[in-house]
Amino acid sequence: MVSIISVAKAAGVSNKTVSRVINGEPYVTDETRERVQKAIRDLGYIPNMAARLIRSSRSNTFGIMTDYVSTTPYSVDIVRGIQDWANTNGKTILIANTGGSSQREAEVWKTFQAHRIDGVLYVTMYHRVVDPDAGDVSIPTVMINCRPRTDQLFPSIAPDDFQGARDLTRYLLERGHRRIGYIRLNPVLVGAELRLNAFRQTAKEFGLAEDDLSIRLGMKGPVGAEENYVFAAATELLRQKERPTAIMSGNDEMAIQIYIAALSLGLRIPQDVSIVGFDDFRTVSMALKPELTTAALPYHELGFQGAEWLNGLVSGNNVDPLSRVAPCRLVERTSVCSV
């Protein structure tokens, strides 16, 4: 195996200088750093991570603990965001998927501790309130796409569902829509209530009364096994004599059924009814024709910012505030027209 001594000799520097370059430490000129990095590449040198761990008590590794996120198309970009940050900053990522099992989660906490993981990114599949049970394990942790029930537990970062729904509602109102239907997500979801509250509040600010809004329940029940009423709700709304000129959908997947309901009644989108979604799940939002106007969940940004925040936490920086949100960008496509 190539040693650090061989790299130092090839680069014409001391062993300590090579160590500083490998560990990303300061006090090395750019020219020297480039020379050392070239020697590392040319010789195929691989740093001894075990030895580094013994010397520094740091593994240079972050753990990702997920419920189902790494197998969920909606939120896999959280992991990609974390990995992109890690690649840029020379960190290693270890992923553990618990499948929602509390027993498995307890095992993962202990595994992370045994491997001396520097910090943990606790990631959930959908925006929800949860208290991770780390037991007696103490590792710097940031929660992503969720927040703790008890504020003193861990810092958290989540999507700003309220702002995203507010922007979508304003978008419709500014285009003259005053009869707006809303088909809501499963009420057990944190994001569902935030989006509905934003819709109601923004409509009220524009002078609309509650009677001007047609709100229907689209789904209910345990997450992953919900009863689905979206098609029936959309059909009922669109058969009204004074039917809505626009319908807001709780998410993009639900919008598929709203499209089908409108088309089955001979209505044109957006000429007869405008439709907006939420999430920007592009398998849906860009496949629908016309393409769906929606608000994009900032999953990649959540992962990237969460990893950056955790790195500061590991370095001893103060956490303020404990809870952060990332904006949901409005994505304008062709499913909305003015009235």
**CA atoms of 229 and 252, how far apart (whole Å):** 15
- Take residue 271 and report the two structure tokens written for it: 């000429």
pLDDT at 58: 60
pLDDT at 89: 87
| SS3 label, residue 268 | coil
pLDDT at 126: 86
Q: Taking residues 247-254, report their average pLDDT.
A: 96
Q: Is the pLDDT of residue 163 over 50?
A: yes
pLDDT at 49: 56
pLDDT at 14: 92
**CA atoms of 2 and 44, how far apart (whole Å):** 7
Q: Is the pLDDT of residue 137 over 90?
A: no
Alpha-carbon distance values, 103 to 16, 106, 123, 219 (Å): 45, 5, 17, 30
pLDDT at 70: 64
Q: Is the pLDDT of residue 55 over 70?
A: no
Q: How confident is the model at residue 115 (pLDDT cuts 50, 70, 90)?
A: confident
End-to-end CA distance of the chain: 72
Q: Is the pLDDT of residue 303 over 80?
A: yes
Strand partners for 121: 64, 142
**CA atoms of 135 and 154, how far apart (whole Å):** 14
Q: Is the pLDDT of residue 324 over 70?
A: yes
Nearest Cα neighbor of 304 from 140, 142, 124 is 142
Q: Is the dihedral of CA 311, 313, 314, 317 positive or negative?
A: positive
Percentage of residues in the chain having pLDDT higher than 90: 67
Domain 4-47 - what CATH class? mainly alpha
Q: Is the pLDDT of residue 50 over 70?
A: no
Task: Write out the residue limits of the CATH 1.10.260.40 domain(s) in the chain.
Answer: 4-47
Q: Is the pLDDT of residue 182 over 90?
A: yes
Assigned CATH for 161-297 = 3.40.50.2300
Predicted confidence (pLDDT) per residue in 13-42, tens digit: 998 898 888 877 778 898 999 999 999 889
Beta strands in the chain (DSSP E): 61-66, 92-97, 119-129, 141-147, 156-159, 180-184, 213-217, 219-220, 227-228, 246-249, 274-276, 294-296, 323-326, 329-331
pTM: 0.81
How many CA atoms, within 13 angstroms, populate the side-chain half-sphere of residue 287?
Answer: 8
Predicted confidence (pLDDT) per residue in 78-105, tens digit: 999 999 999 888 889 999 999 888 899 9
Alpha-carbon distance values, 311 to 61, 243, 288, 304, 320 (Å): 10, 52, 40, 11, 14
Q: Is the pLDDT of residue 130 over 60?
A: yes
**Who has greater pLDDT, 2 or 246?**
246
Task: Write out the residue limits of the CATH 3.40.50.2300 domain(s) in the chain.
Answer: 61-159+300-326, 161-297
- Take residue 8 and report the two structure tokens written for it: 């130092």
Give the phi and the psi of residue 316 in degrees, each rounded to 5: 95, 10
Q: Taking residues 237-247, report their average pLDDT.
A: 96
**Who has greater pLDDT, 283 or 3?**
283
pLDDT at 245: 97
pLDDT at 151: 63
pLDDT at 51: 55
Name the CA dihedral angle for 216, 222, 225, 231, rounded to a multiple of 10 degrees. Answer: 0
Q: How confident is the model at residue 54 (pLDDT cuts 50, 70, 90)?
A: very low
Domain 61-159+300-326: CATH superfamily, name plus number = Response regulator (3.40.50.2300)
